[in-house]
Structure 1
Amino acid sequence: MITRIFPSVRRLHRRWFYGLMAMVMAVGIGLATPKPSQAGLLDLIFNGIQYIQLSNLSTQDEVRLGRRIDAQLKRQGVRIYNRDPQIVAYVDQIGQRLAAASARPDLPYTFQVVQDDSINAFATMGGFVYIHTGLMEEAANEAELAGVLAHEIGHIGGRHAVNQMRQIALAQGVAGALGVDQSALVNIGVQLALSLPNSRADEYDADQRGFRTMGQARYAQSGLVSFMRKLDERSGARPEFLSTHPDPGNRVENLEAMLESEGNPNATDGLNNSAYQSKISSL
């Protein structure tokens, strides 16, 4: 059956069609000739500038950012130790054992030894942990080294660098509606890793997380306590570790209280001093 369309209906359809076309053309013209603010936004996008929203940073973005910070650290002079692959593998083995027992075992952790005689260790977001050869030599046994690594893993588990980065980006005025330029975030991340101190709250949190991670991984939790006590008792120049990890005195007291109240009696690994010294003898 053929339905007849009356002229008035045809005119209505025609007006609707022309109105739609006019709207499409207007949108097209608006996109083709943006206003100055829009043009700036498009220029940024077309130039490949990548922005990150720190308020809801995904794990994937955190790992990508960590890789870029790691590369920048190396360009700025952080020397990765590679003289003895067995030393590197040994640290990675300890680190991966701890990471698997941590609050964020899903991250692809990277443990690296830094060729530096100072007593220091630090971490960046995305699972990157760095331990100086000087700190390895200062540690009496594997449990003490594991304690430092567990503490740094604790910073990553608590997303402390991410939170500090957000505060710094806001304070410096580099955070905008689009988020923060990745290049700016990399620079902030390098500052956090090398020179900016952690807050007291973050240090306590990393200690608690590290202590519990050690227990889960069956490492003697006394190792973290004894190493922190050793740093606290050192006379003369304070180790570099304490410039970015302040207030060891109160932290030792808190760790001793934790050891007394919630230490894992089955966590006893890593207390053989001579075995540890033999492992790191090539440093």
Structure 2
Amino acid sequence: MFNFYAWISHRVNRRWIYPIISAIMAIALIFSSSYPSSAKNPRRLIGPGLEVLQLSTMSDAQEVALGEQINQQILSRQFKRYGNTQINNYVRELGEQLAAQSDRPNLPYTFQVVEDDSINAFATMGGFVYVTTGLLKAVDNEAQLAGVMSHEIGHIVHKHSIRQMREVIIARGLAGAAGVDNNIAVQLGVELALRLPRSRQHEYEADRGALAILMDAGYSPRGLVQFFEKLLDKPSPPTFLSTHPASSDRIAALEQMIPPDRANQGMGLDEAAYRNRIRPLL
């Protein structure tokens, strides 16, 4: 058997042996007894930086759990669920159909209608998508509604809320010695969903993803373009676009992304059929 102490005694002056051994033993003692909780959680030894960066690589289960807490805050303090079962089932079924065509089809999506007259839709991490009653009344057909909902699914697919949360936490210095406090993360998630604008890059990524979802689900890609064209006539931009890239710029970008052979194909453009689906709102 190899004898470490015999080996080192032949190569190092004997007066250095005991200090070296003592230093090794001291380090081992520190990590084994002085910081037992840190040994079980290596992130605490490294500091808050790694904790923040891990927000962009959190598991689906962790993302959904945080999204559920954010959702509870949004529905208890900001919005009220719309009570009509027919409308809720319609939006949920449409959302599930679209989410199945996304790049994250196995996420347990939750599609909810909230009472608000503004033309708006938003999403938070973990698959939570919100559609206002004002938006449902404003769109002309199912393809337009599907386009907006697909856009929000696109944000979830690209984990934009998580990426934005990481950036804000770093910018505001919200990480402590043990990482980000859960309550801070939840409140920041609400703020991100309702008030903080997304970057132009995130919006264009979501638009691109929305087109792919629409076409894969069989809907006309013109639906999303029609929705933006409809908003050009508004004297002031609705909530949905108030902090987003200009509608005209997004229309031009979408037109370029639609394959010419798919421009006039797809379902969902029947206005009468859509009005019949949302009749309780009219």
Please report how far the alpha carbon of residue 193 of structure 1 lies from its aligned counterpart in structure 2 after TM superposition: 0.7
Deviations 1:97-145 (A, max 9, x none): 0000001101000000011011000000010000000011000001000
After the TM superposition, which of the residue ranges 117-126 and 52-61 deviates more from structure 2?
52-61
Q: Partner residue of 1:56?
A: 57
| Alignment partners' CA distance in 2, 1:241 and 1:112 | 16
Long gaps (5+) in structure 1: 1-22, 45-50
Q: Which protein shows a greater Rg?
A: 1
Please report how far the alpha carbon of residue 58 of structure 1 lies from its aligned counterpart in structure 2 after TM superposition: 1.2
| Alignment partners' CA distance in 1, 2:140 and 2:179 | 45
Please report how far the alpha carbon of residue 256 of structure 1 lies from its aligned counterpart in structure 2 after TM superposition: 1.4
Kindly provide the amino acid, as one letter, of the partner of residue 99 in structure 1: A
Q: Partner residue of 2:253?
A: 254
Deviations 1:27-73 (A, max 9, x none): 69x85x779xx8xx9xx9xxxxxx87414211111111110100011
Kindly provide the amino acid, as one letter, of the partner of residue 148 in structure 1: V
Please report how far the alpha carbon of residue 262 of structure 1 lies from its aligned counterpart in structure 2 after TM superposition: 6.6
> Does the 8 A contact of 2:66 with 2:126 survive in 1?
yes
1:186 aligns with 2:191: no
Q: Give the fraction of aligned pairs with identical amino acids, expressed as a percent.
A: 47
Q: 1:119 to 1:55 in 2, by over 3 A?
A: closer
Given the alignment, which residue of 262, 266, 269 partners 2:267? 269
Q: The residue matched to 2:104 in structure 1 has which SS?
A: coil
Deviations 1:190-248 (A, max 9, x none): 1111111111011100000001110000011100110011113322x321111243322
> Does the 8 A contact of 1:63 with 1:127 survive in 2?
yes
> Does the 8 A contact of 2:119 with 2:135 survive in 1?
yes
| Alignment partners' CA distance in 1, 2:176 and 2:58 | 15
| Alignment partners' CA distance in 1, 2:65 and 2:276 | 36
Q: The residue matched to 1:81 in structure 2 has which SS?
A: coil
Q: Partner residue of 2:82?
A: 81
Long gaps (5+) in structure 2: 1-24, 45-50
Kindly provide the amino acid, as one letter, of the partner of residue 54 in structure 1: L
Q: The residue matched to 1:129 in structure 2 has which SS?
A: strand
Q: Partner residue of 2:10?
A: none
| Alignment partners' CA distance in 1, 2:115 and 2:149 | 16
Q: Partner residue of 1:69?
A: 70
Q: Return the TM-score normalized by structure 1.
A: 0.79
Q: The residue matched to 1:145 in structure 2 has which SS?
A: helix
Q: What is the aligned residue count? A: 246
Q: Return the TM-score normalized by structure 2.
A: 0.80
| Alignment partners' CA distance in 2, 1:169 and 1:135 | 31
Q: 1:113 to 1:179 in 2, by over 3 A?
A: same
| Alignment partners' CA distance in 1, 2:95 and 2:124 | 14
Q: The residue matched to 1:178 in structure 2 has which SS?
A: coil
| Alignment partners' CA distance in 1, 2:260 and 2:170 | 40
Q: What is the RMSD of the two structures over their aligned residues, measured on CA atoms? A: 2.7
Q: The residue matched to 2:279 in structure 1 has which SS?
A: coil
Please report how far the alpha carbon of residue 260 of structure 1 lies from its aligned counterpart in structure 2 after TM superposition: 4.6
> Does the 8 A contact of 1:195 with 1:244 survive in 2?
no
Q: The residue matched to 2:113 in structure 1 has which SS?
A: strand
- Which runs of structure 2 are paired with 1:206-221 in the superposition (5 Å)? 206-221=206-221
Q: 1:92 to 1:34 in 2, by over 3 A?
A: closer
- Which runs of structure 2 are paired with 1:106-185 in the superposition (5 Å)? 106-176=106-176, 178-185=178-185
Structure 1 stretches of 4+ moved >6 Å:
none
> Does the 8 A contact of 2:222 with 2:263 survive in 1?
no
After the TM superposition, which of the residue ranges 174-183 and 193-202 deviates more from structure 2?
174-183
Please report how far the alpha carbon of residue 263 of structure 1 lies from its aligned counterpart in structure 2 after TM superposition: 3.2
